[in-house]
Structure 1
Amino acid sequence: MQWSLILLFLMAQCCFIDCQLYTYHYINQNKNWTEAQQYCREKHTDLVTVTNMKDMERLKISAGGQSEAWIGLYDPTNGPRTWYWSLTGVEFNEKTNTTHKYHLIKELKTWQEAQSYCREKHTDLISGTKQLEDEEVKKLMISSDHIVYFGLFRDTWRWSDGSSFSFRHWNLKFNNQIINRGQCAMTVFDDGGRWRNENCNERKPFICYEDKVILIKENKTWLEALTYCRDHHDDLVTITNMDDQILIQEKAKEASTPFVWLGLFFSCLKNKWFWVCKNNPNLERRINNCGKSGAMEAGGKHMWFQGNSTEKLNFFCLKR
């Protein structure tokens, strides 16, 4: 079938303000990292994966004033060193952001200190080839009397759930150049939530996460997918911000169809895109009269495409 790129992002009409795609659980029991991982996988989804500074703020709230906890980051014994961009999801951001504002900081800092400064004062170190090739960035770099750091780094650390998120929030004493193999990461809330590497056999509290999004590898039309999600879970998934997009696109890589249905549909009557709204469960059938629905590309850049609602695809449900 013919697929058309949807050129809007987060502009569809929505019937709610906030919906978290995952929840955190602070477990105030002292376990080593492996025991904590096993507990989280049995009771929830896994040890927590942290993808950005908003996640860090939510972790602090979940800890309720506690001082520290294991997270799901570990350094495997024989793990290869992999290159990452400091700004998580930069490939997607490059396709959606059309304006940038860059700042050359003429203070001399280590790379770790520079990353911390940028996250506290701005967004992050510049990341991605598109930002580096921006003419404004080139001019700023030429104007500097010193070598300028940007947001590319390499490490051997991996997330327990197998995701490839590049976000790191190490304390300023952390040395990524030395061998840390066989160690695990903990967040220290008394140090602004910054991370510290520790022997994995140490016994500490820990944080689990509950994933509320599930990829259904059954091929259904958009309305069949909507009905399935509401009968067996909660609803088709809604993406309301860039952080949600980054989480969902990681899961889309596992799909068995080239596109995956989202809870997005178009109304010719209203001439607008809408998100599904469980508060008004018949809305989709009343105004989805075009046969056009939104799906995410399973590979590539995970862009959103408009497709025929009768096409049978995998789909994302939001768990209750």
Structure 2
Amino acid sequence: MSCGMFIVLVLSGLRCSAFSLHVRQYYFIDEARTWPNAQKYCRRHYTDLATVNDVQDLEILADLTGSEENASFVGLHKSWTWSFSDYGDYHEGERAYWNWASKQPDHSNCGIVESTGKWASTSCKRKMNFICYNASETNILRRFVLVSDSSMTWLDAHAYCKEKFTDLARVENQQENKELETMLSGNAAWLGLRRQSWMWSDGSQPSFLPWKYHQDSKDYCGALDFGHGFHGLMKMNCDKIASFFCHSDPQRRHLVQLKLATKGSPVPRDPAVAASVMNQIQRGLEEKGASKDVKLSWRSFSKEETKQESAKELKKCV
């Protein structure tokens, strides 16, 4: 068995969002879509729905439309999250487990699991049973505790679970959801789901929200309105169809040096073998949280070239 070194080039999007670098490219898509479908389109063809960091970004988007017609979606929205986030939150639209019933969630702000195992949103002030999560329990199926006390609102149930256990229940897969379903005995119960504050589709928190005017509405997606000579954000129904803005981030290159132990040549020569190795690396990166748009490629370096390329990488913004 022999060992060999090879280099994998990893291309991914640059996301330095602490301040606006104005290196993003923005695109106006003059097609009417709902906010979720616009998000899918932008993620498929670019990077994401547009994020607006400052006045300059706002002006760039205004110049792209060339008109003062209807408002256009951007990446601003209110999504659902879990009160317990031991491993970092995942959000709706990402690769995670969601089990909403048909036409759910609606405009309410707290989440329940129904007797069918499906989830629904409802008023946080309702009173019902709830399910707590006990992270100290080693048997994962015993981590859920049904509390049969129908006198508690979502906030009351959350406080109770935080005091007695770990938090309200967080469900991460179908097996866990099935366990909850068997516990309910025909009654719905609170989960740790709650609609959070405004955020951008790329996961960043807003630091610049130029609302055009006050709206006391239950619309949870954001759009830019360029009418009447004043640019600003407005709330819009996520199911309404409208044009939208996408953005793309410049790619950056990471050099990842790996060591392979093989019975033959240390560098795969057979294209089929090389493709198989790359697929395994790709799956491993995705399991660690890398997005599916990360691109991998082979490149052979001499020892001197490896040192030079590594030195270049250290000089870049990471």
TM-score range, shorter chain: 0.3 to 0.5
TM-score, length of structure 1 as denominator length: 0.37
- Bigger Rg over Cα: 2
TM-score, length of structure 2 as denominator length: 0.37
